[in-house]
Structure 1
Amino acid sequence: MKVSKAQAAENRQSILDAAARLYRERGLAGVGVADITRDAGLTHGGLYRHFASKDALVQEACARAFDWSIAPLNGATPPTTAPTVGERIQSYLSPQHRDAPGTGCPVAALAVDAARAGGKLSEVFAQGIERNIGRFAQLLADSHAEAGSATEPPQDRARAIHVLATMVGGLVLARATATGRPALSDELLTTLQTQLIGLLGEAPP
């Protein structure tokens, strides 16, 4: 049976969504094509009608994963209010994010895989990370402007790199220790929350 263009587009999106989630949950080496198509509710052979190769799927799924953004914890901020930088830090360095890699930050979940793969996948991550730095630097600049600060953009970029790298590293460490030493994992999250929010001069959420 011939599939309509709309259905084909929907199937392709289902494959990308499934791959983006499974790769973040299990790593690139831990996911096969059959896992992805099964999760998407499609047949194995159907995948290659949408993607030239598995590498092409990996690259596009990882790029899709960068659509993820830090959101406040449920109930932390009224829906009509944009989250503060402190609330974003709190949400990123939270047990909820730590325990749900499949729906979270692709950098914390897949940066090591991207480094090993190199080539085009490394470029996908470079582009995604550059966008994240730019967005976070703008958030810092906006926050400083609202507070009456005259911080120069280069300083905001340097601070954005500092904070984002610390957040990613902290989340990786918290995940690595969550099963073996849960108390240490929680301590890493709460300590870094406090330190980073204090560094930025914000009141805790």
Structure 2
Amino acid sequence: MFREKGTAVSVADLMKAAGLTHGGFYKQFASKEDLVDEAVAHAFAEQAAHSAVAFEEKSGEHETVRRRVIEDYLSVWHRDHPADGCPVPGFAADLGREPEQAARAQHVYINGVRNRAARLATGDDDGMAQLCTMVGALALALALALALARATRGNPLSEELLQAARTALTESAQPEPQRRTD
């Protein structure tokens, strides 16, 4: 719920969605901030462990993994399922607005951002600009898709934006330099 609706979701709403009582929350967590900390850590760990890319990373084919990350990230499915999507955009606005929470969850969040950027790195590029482009394209596509859905009933512009970002990121990257083995 936090990735989909933000951390302003009430404890009562969280417990209702979980099918539990409000009192049950405090048996598990001392505060809502503790739950947010746990949610941020869980979201990054879940994405790292269960994505299809995690299995491909073991093969050592960095460029294949990088392209797969971009394709998956800038997909219609990812756009339409924020609750199951990347925690980078899912928590960015809330952690930026809530200094107390940011101080608690910031370490996990920063490591998650760095790890995602590293999957996109090519040559001298650390992947940060590519990650920013992907997060921005997804956010823009979401905003436009919502606005266009009312006005145009299914206008394909949102998918076009996602495809344009995918193409720009996969075709403009410089391949990794060959590493010497001698």
Q: Same fold (TM over 0.5)?
A: yes
Matches of 2:131 and 2:120 in 1, distance apart?
12
Matches of 1:84 and 1:169 in 2, distance apart?
21
> Which residue, out of 103, 106, 125, partners 2:84?
103
The residue type paired with residue 105 of structure 1 is C
> Which residue, out of 24, 46, 52, partners 1:46?
24
Q: What residue number does 1:165 align with?
A: 132
> Which residue, out of 21, 39, 63, partners 2:41?
63
**Runs of 4+ deviating beyond 4 Å:** 80-83
1:121 aligns to 2:102 (yes or no): yes
Shift of 1:62: 2.1
1:84 alignment partner, SS class: helix
Residues 129, 190 of structure 1: alpha-carbon distance in 2 compared, 3 angstrom cutoff: farther
Matches of 1:46 and 1:123 in 2, distance apart?
23
Decide whether the 8 Å contact of 1:115 with 1:122 is kept in 2: no
Shift of 1:122: 4.8
Shift of 1:176: 1.0
Superposition RMSD on alpha carbons, in Å?
A: 2.8
Matches of 1:135 and 1:108 in 2, distance apart?
12
Decide whether the 8 Å contact of 2:33 with 2:101 is kept in 1: no
Decide whether the 8 Å contact of 2:120 with 2:131 is kept in 1: no
The residue type paired with residue 158 of structure 2 is S
Matches of 1:186 and 1:140 in 2, distance apart?
22
Residues 190, 123 of structure 1: alpha-carbon distance in 2 compared, 3 angstrom cutoff: farther
Shift of 1:36: 1.5
State the Cα deviation string for residues 118-158 of structure 1 (Å, max 9, x = none): 23425524532334324542x456xx6xxxxxx4xxx242x
Matches of 2:135 and 2:107 in 1, distance apart?
15
Residues 140, 63 of structure 1: alpha-carbon distance in 2 compared, 3 angstrom cutoff: closer
User: What is the TM-score of this pair, normalised by structure 1?
Assistant: 0.68
2:156 alignment partner, SS class: helix
Decide whether the 8 Å contact of 1:71 with 1:88 is kept in 2: no
Residues 168, 140 of structure 1: alpha-carbon distance in 2 compared, 3 angstrom cutoff: closer
Q: What residue number does 2:114 align with?
A: 133
Matches of 2:170 and 2:18 in 1, distance apart?
39
Q: What residue number does 2:160 align with?
A: 187
2:147 alignment partner, SS class: coil
Decide whether the 8 Å contact of 1:27 with 1:113 is kept in 2: yes
Q: Structure 2 stretches of 5 or more lacking a match?
A: 149-154, 176-182
Shift of 1:180: 1.6
1:115 alignment partner, SS class: helix
Matches of 1:126 and 1:105 in 2, distance apart?
17
User: What is the TM-score of this pair, normalised by structure 2?
Assistant: 0.75
* Identical residues among aligned pairs (%): 40
1:33 aligns to 2:14 (yes or no): no
Residues 107, 127 of structure 1: alpha-carbon distance in 2 compared, 3 angstrom cutoff: same
